[in-house]
Chain A
Amino acid sequence: MIQFDDVSKRYEGGHTALNHLSFQIERNEMVFLTGHSGAGKSTLLKLIMMMERPTSGQVFVDGKNLNRLPARKIPEHRRGVGVVFQNHQLLFDRSVFDNVALPLIIAGFQPRDVGRRVRAALDKVGLLDKEKKNPITLSGGEQQRVGIARAVVNKPALLLADEPTGNLDPELSAEIMHLFEQFNQVGVTILIASHDLSLIARLPHRLISLKAGQLLRPEVA
């Protein structure tokens, strides 16, 4: 599903975020991405999202060589990838429902389909009763679940999460991780960047550890 082939990313100013990185994530896998801040986790996710392009090397997502994807194809690519952000990236000028509906409206779904799918997604994350609320009135954990609902509402084959439990207490974090596992069970490939090692250690998923933009020996937790 994801393949990095000798990928390097250097930013202007000389900082090297990724250094000749190669790895592969199979379809239906659930993988944790760990490493200290600055190890290159965010850059790796940004390359998959095409928020950045690699300095050298190639990134494949779902069989597509992202290097060969022109800028105008980026929106279409992003529609196929669900993303959960650490800071939620929710819009506080509209309801929970409208936040979750955004990817569907962008993808051009009909209003009745939008309603059905949004409610299904909200139901999965247990927030069906909050659809009319403004996300700013929700707790941190609830906001994160709204973010997850938005990431999966379009039924993407690939789900990325950047520190999804960054600001949550252990109990809520475990709950969120459990949610991801449920999506994984229905066939979604999942890549979660996290430095919550104690939580990751308890879960039976592959681990990709980065250090200074390079792969530490891959291990299975």
Chain B
Amino acid sequence: MSATPTRRQPKRSLAPVREPGAGASISPVQLKDRWRGYWANQKVVARQTLLRLVAQPASSMMTVLVIGIALALPVVMLVSLSNIEQLGRGWDGAARISLFLKRDVSDDNARGLADRLEQRKDIAAVQFTSASEALDEFRQLSGYGEVLDSLESNPLPGVLVVTPAGGDVDADTSRTLFDELSMLPDVDQAKLDLEWVQRLHAMMDIGKRISLSLGFLLSLGVLLVIGNTIKLAIEARRDEIVVVKLVGGTDAFVRRPFLYTGFWYGLGGGITAWLILQFSMLLLAGPVSMLSGLYESEYSLTGLGFGNTLMLWLTSGFLGWMGAWLVVGRQLKSIEPR
């Protein structure tokens, strides 16, 4: 005889005859009641698992702190970046437009043009640098004095530096003004000095990518931490799992408390990360307001906001649930009543 179980078809004559009146199910529970009982069990398990964590504050706190710190790192980075971005948005308006004038425009004409431009509402200030001033400046800064002396004529044009009006002007408005100014007859060439803003944006993009990938890696770490914690919790409750399986607990029933435990750990970690963020913002608020005061700006730090905070908590809770789910199935299979 082979060692593998053979599942033969039952011979009809051998099948026990069902006695009349014997119910189909041995313990009849109405479907509606079962559904209600299921939800009642969800609530009970949610509460019980939370109370269990609170009952062992020392060990739970360790796990929650680890998760919290891991999540705080990318969150703090992202919040800092969005603050810098906000700051940068204010600076966009300070983008300056350099107008290089044609050779035949005299200094007087240039000054006249500067005065006219300054009258415009969308221009805050115009500064004129004449060709000879520009040459002097270049001579001083470049150190090519002797080479420049050997030139027969001044190769540099006169320049008008235009500062657009309004602190809040964005890149698009600057661009429109730039297009208009470059059409002026006296202007040979115009240059919108937005490069540094663009560079800032590029750097911020890199920073964002870095914090997102950091966040991704740390989330994996959180999954592992929770997975391991849940693994230990399952080992500690081995007896209970055996008994529950013996009296007919489904896998879902056995799994449920561990999934909830994972969720609570994750949520706790998310709240901890939020607290860490609030604390570091509190630390920074003083110096930042002093600094912005020095710049006569009303800038102040912006936190996560309600929506993002909710998002953080939901994500962290989901991470916890996920971490538990990843280990619980495999682990519970190994625990069968013997």
**Distance between Cα atoms of A167 and B40 in the complex (Å):** 38
**Distance between Cα atoms of A53 and B112 in the complex (Å):** 102
With A27-B22, A51-B338 as known contacts, state yes or no: A108 contacts B248, CB within 8 Å. Answer: no
Let me know if B1 and A8 touch, CB within 8 A: yes
With A3-B14, A62-B22 as known contacts, state yes or no: A75 contacts B249, CB within 8 Å. Answer: yes
Please report which residues of chain B, range 302-338, place their CB below 8 angstroms from some CB of chain A when the two chains form the complex. 336-338
**Distance between Cα atoms of A118 and B46 in the complex (Å):** 23
The digit string for A1-31, where 1 denotes a CB below 8 A from any CB of B, is 1010100101010000000000010010000
CB distance from B189 to the nearest CB of A (A): 77
Q: Nearest A residue to B249 by beta-carbon distance? A: A106
Whether A49 sits at the interface, judged by CB under 8 Å, is yes
Let me know if A110 and B243 touch, CB within 8 A: no
Q: Nearest B residue to A68 by beta-carbon distance? A: B7
CB distance from A68 to the nearest CB of B (A): 7
Whether B19 sits at the interface, judged by CB under 8 Å, is yes
Let me know if B244 and A10 touch, CB within 8 A: no
Please report which residues of chain B, range 1-55, place their CB below 8 angstroms from some CB of chain A when the two chains form the complex. 1, 3-8, 10, 14-16, 18-19, 22, 25-27, 29, 33-38, 40-41, 44
With A89-B242, A91-B240, A91-B243 as known contacts, state yes or no: A51 contacts B27, CB within 8 Å. Answer: no
CB distance from A38 to the nearest CB of B (A): 16
**Distance between Cα atoms of A55 and B35 in the complex (Å):** 37
Which residues of the other chain, B, contact A63 by a CB distance below 8 angstroms?
15-16, 18, 22
Whether B119 sits at the interface, judged by CB under 8 Å, is no
Partner of B34, one of A10, A60, A108: A108
**How many of chain A's residues have a CB under 8 angstroms from any CB in B?**
51
Let me know if B247 and A150 touch, CB within 8 A: yes
Which residues of the other chain, A, contact B6 by a CB distance below 8 angstroms?
55-56
Q: Nearest B residue to A103 by beta-carbon distance? A: B247
Whether B253 sits at the interface, judged by CB under 8 Å, is yes
Which residues of the other chain, A, contact B22 by a CB distance below 8 angstroms?
27, 62-63, 157
Which residues of the other chain, A, contact B136 by a CB distance below 8 angstroms?
none
Partner of B27, one of A49, A60, A102, A154: A154
Whether B239 sits at the interface, judged by CB under 8 Å, is yes
Let me know if A89 and B19 touch, CB within 8 A: no
Chain A residues touching B, majority SS? mixed
Whether B200 sits at the interface, judged by CB under 8 Å, is no
Let me know if B3 and A55 touch, CB within 8 A: yes
Which residues of the other chain, A, contact B240 by a CB distance below 8 angstroms?
91, 93
Partner of B14, one of A5, A49, A54, A91: A5
Let me know if A58 and B248 touch, CB within 8 A: no
**Distance between Cα atoms of A1 and B1 in the complex (Å):** 28
Q: Nearest A residue to B18 by beta-carbon distance? A: A63
Partner of B26, one of A51, A65, A79: A79
Which residues of the other chain, B, contact A49 by a CB distance below 8 angstroms?
246, 337
Partner of B336, one of A51, A75, A80, A155: A51
Which residues of the other chain, B, contact A156 by a CB distance below 8 angstroms?
26-27
CB distance from B20 to the nearest CB of A (A): 11
Which residues of the other chain, A, contact B15 by a CB distance below 8 angstroms?
60, 63, 65
Q: Nearest B residue to A151 by beta-carbon distance? A: B247
The digit string for B238-268, where 1 denotes a CB below 8 A from any CB of A, is 0110111111111101000000000000000
Whether A111 sits at the interface, judged by CB under 8 Å, is yes
Whether A107 sits at the interface, judged by CB under 8 Å, is yes
Whether A77 sits at the interface, judged by CB under 8 Å, is yes
CB distance from B76 to the nearest CB of A (A): 40
Partner of A75, one of B44, B242, B250: B250
**Distance between Cα atoms of A58 and B7 in the complex (Å):** 8
Whether A83 sits at the interface, judged by CB under 8 Å, is yes
Let me know if A108 and B16 touch, CB within 8 A: no
**Distance between Cα atoms of A96 and B232 in the complex (Å):** 26
Let me know if B33 and A80 touch, CB within 8 A: no
Whether A182 sits at the interface, judged by CB under 8 Å, is no
The digit string for A153-175, where 1 denotes a CB below 8 A from any CB of B, is 01111100000000000000000
**Distance between Cα atoms of A91 and B138 in the complex (Å):** 88
Q: Can you give 18 contacting A-B residue pairs, CB < 8 Å?
A: A12-B3, A49-B246, A51-B338, A55-B3, A63-B22, A65-B10, A65-B15, A78-B245, A79-B248, A80-B27, A83-B246, A91-B243, A102-B247, A106-B244, A107-B248, A108-B34, A108-B35, A156-B27
5 other contacts beyond A89-B242, A93-B240, with CB at 8 A cut-off? A1-B16, A10-B1, A56-B6, A91-B239, A102-B243
